């Protein structure tokens, strides 16, 4: 997993260094990977950067732009596989004598961060970096972990941004293929559904033991996967009807690894990933909508602690007093952030303008131990743009 918080600290320090050299400029690039080949991606990024820098009429930024574009291309060439998105943060000095510094941007001033989610296409040139999208990414967890289990195998997916991403396929090494022969041995009448003696019971007992061993293998696999060590909002288990009957304790045992998750069981025989994805989206959407409405209503009933204006919310956030923040994901509100990450909707001493204070607010609430509830941005009337419940 990408350590976004570490990158944020590094980039923030580079911004503060501008006091030492006011001639530095800061270029920020967020670019989605739409499964295009490397050569096309390099070409599009080069055009994106140079077109933006050409628009600056006050300074000659073309030499710097070409250098940056070349270094972006070199970075892409070194990647074994392309991430969901790419971001570049470049500090350069266009006024350096004979443009020597611009023609050689050092490694410490050229930072590439692979993105695990698809970003909005964006470029920003100014006296600071545009860290808004990076802050969102730092505070977003994976939505869910999905198991699709049958007698022979289990497919494991991460669920994020309403899509399933395959993690692993685990075969069941304990399953035997002796059922048919075993039944024939104990059944003198070769007729479907009729068994004699204890054959059927023995097979059920054996299957239960095999499944138990297989599920323990899955638990061990999850426990040992570093990329599955974080918490999720949902643990979703889709298993065949036979598994449901024989392994009723499995969801509870798996949920113990992720104590803050909501477990959703899908008792349906599904083999197609697309069909599973549609069902997971439907189930999680239903649960989210119901849960958010309930939480917001409970917060609104606490009149002395409920806030719904930006000024009140920002003040409470700066004091570390927000217990729950309700916020829509598509807010675009300009504001000001100080070096110690205090947030305002008006300028204060040492603050800098940011394009969107929403991700900074989310970051601050989480850092103070608060919870974030993302509201449905399509519900125009039922939910406010932003709201909060104070701790006291």
The boundaries of every CATH 3.30.1330.30 domain in the chain are 302-390
Q: Tell me phi and psi for residue 381, to 5 degrees.
A: -100, -30
Taking the C-alpha atoms of residue 324 and residue 372, their distance in angstroms, rounded to an integer, is: 6
Residue extent(s) of CATH 3.30.960 domains in the chain: 4-139
Q: What local confidence, expressed as pLDDT, does residue 259 receive?
A: 76
Burial class of residue 326, CB neighbours in 10 A (0-12, 13-18, 19+): buried
The dihedral built from the CA positions of residue 161, 163, 169 and 171, taken in this order, carries a sign that is positive
d(CA 111, CA 88): 6
Pairing mode of beta strands 352-354, 335-337: antiparallel
CB contact at 8 A, 112 and 71:
no
Residue 243's pLDDT is 67
DSSP letters, 73-138, are HHHHHH-SS--SEEEEEEEE-TTSGGGHHHHS--GGGEEEEEESSPPPPEEEEESS---HHHHHHH
With a CB cutoff of 8 Å and minimum separation 6, the contacts of 201 are: none
3-state secondary structure of 361: helix
How far from the centroid of its chain's Cα atoms is residue 44's Cα?
Answer: 25
For tokens 């599904």, name the residue.
Answer: 270
Q: For residue 76, which phi and psi values (nearest 5 degrees)?
A: -65, -40
Q: Which CATH class is domain 144-288?
A: alpha beta
Tens of pLDDT, residue by residue over 332-344, are: 889 998 888 899 9
Find the helix or strand (DSSP H, E) in which 25 lies. Answer: strand 25-32
CA–CA gap between residue 391 and residue 167 (Å, rounded): 39
What's the CATH code, domain 4-139?
A: 3.30.960
Q: What is the pLDDT of residues 187-211, one digit of tens each?
A: 444 444 444 455 556 656 777 777 7
**Residues in Cβ contact with 171 at an 8 Å cutoff, skipping those fewer than 6 apart:** 152, 153
118-154: pLDDT as tens digits? 888 999 998 778 887 887 776 566 788 899 988 788 8
Q: How many CA atoms lie within 13 A of 238 on its CB side?
A: 22
Q: Phi and psi at residue 169, in whole multiples of 5°? A: -120, 125
| Helix, strand, coil % over all residues of the chain, rounded to 5 | 40, 20, 35
Q: Could you read off the pLDDT tens digit of each residue along the chain, which spans 392 residues?
A: 456 767 877 887 777 665 557 778 899 999 998 888 999 999 999 999 999 999 887 888 888 999 999 999 999 999 998 988 999 999 998 876 445 544 568 888 999 999 878 888 999 998 778 887 887 776 566 788 899 988 788 899 989 878 898 888 999 887 765 444 444 444 444 444 444 455 556 656 777 777 778 888 888 888 777 566 566 889 999 987 666 666 677 788 788 877 778 889 888 888 789 999 999 999 998 998 888 889 999 999 999 999 999 999 999 999 999 999 999 877 888 999 888 889 999 999 988 888 889 888 988 888 888 888 888 766 556 788 899 999 98
CATH class of 302-390: alpha beta
Half-sphere exposure at residue 135, Cβ-oriented, CA atoms within 13 angstroms: 23
Quote the pLDDT of residue 165.
86
What separation, in Å, do the N-terminal and C-terminal C-alpha atoms of the chain show?
35
* Positions of CATH 3.30.420.60 in the chain: 144-288
CA 183 to chain centre: 49
Sort strands 262-267 and 343-344 into parallel, antiparallel or unpaired: unpaired
Per the listing, tokens 């510094």 go with: 101
* Total residue length of the chain: 392
For residue 257, give the 3-state DSSP assignment: coil
3-state secondary structure of 372: strand
The C-alpha angle 282, 285, 288, rounded to 5 degrees, equals: 150
């Amino acid at each position: 997993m990408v350590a976004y918080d570490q990158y944020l600290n590094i980039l923030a320090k580079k911004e503060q260094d501008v006091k030492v050299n006011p001639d530095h400029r800061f270029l920020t690039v967020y670019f989605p990977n739409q499964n295009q080949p490397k050569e096309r991606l390099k070409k599009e990024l080069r055009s994106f950067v140079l077109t933006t820098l050409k628009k600056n009429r006050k300074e000659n930024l073309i030499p710097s732009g070409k250098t940056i574009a070349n270094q972006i291309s070199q970075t892409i060439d070194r990647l074994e596989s392309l991430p969901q998105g790419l971001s570049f943060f470049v500090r350069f000095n266009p006024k350096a004598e004979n443009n020597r510094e611009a023609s050689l941007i050092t490694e410490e001033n050229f930072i590439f961060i692979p993105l695990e989610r698809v970003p909005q296409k964006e470029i920003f040139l100014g006296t600071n970096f545009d860290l808004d999208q990076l802050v969102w990414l730092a505070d977003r967890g994976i939505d869910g972990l999905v198991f699709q289990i049958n007698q022979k195998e289990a497919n494991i997916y991460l669920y994020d941004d309403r899509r399933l991403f395959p993690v692993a396929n685990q075969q069941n090494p304990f399953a035997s293929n002796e059922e048919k022969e075993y039944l024939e041995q104990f059944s003198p009448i070769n007729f479907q559904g009729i068994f004699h003696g204890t054959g059927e019971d023995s097979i059920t007992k054996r299957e239960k033991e095999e499944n138990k061993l297989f599920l323990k293998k899955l638990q061990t696999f999850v426990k040992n996967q570093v990329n599955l060590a974080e918490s999720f909002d949902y643990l979703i288990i889709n298993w065949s009807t036979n598994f449901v009957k024989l392994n009723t304790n499995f969801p509870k045992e798996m949920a113990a690894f992720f104590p803050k998750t909501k477990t959703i069981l899908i008792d349906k025989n599904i083999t197609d990933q697309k069909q599973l994805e549609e069902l997971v989206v439907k189930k999680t959407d239903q649960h989210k909508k119901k849960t958010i409405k309930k939480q917001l209503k409970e917060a609104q009933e606490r009149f002395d602690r409920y806030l719904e204006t930006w000024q009140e919310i920002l003040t409470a956030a700066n004091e570390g007093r927000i217990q729950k923040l309700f916020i829509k994901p598509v807010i675009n509100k300009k504001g000001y952030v100080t070096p110690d990450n205090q947030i305002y909707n008006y300028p204060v001493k040492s603050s800098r303008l940011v394009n969107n204070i929403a991700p900074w607010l989310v970051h601050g609430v989480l850092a103070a131990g608060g919870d974030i509830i993302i509201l449905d941005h399509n519900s125009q009337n039922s939910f406010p743009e932003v709201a909060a419940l104070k701790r006291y």
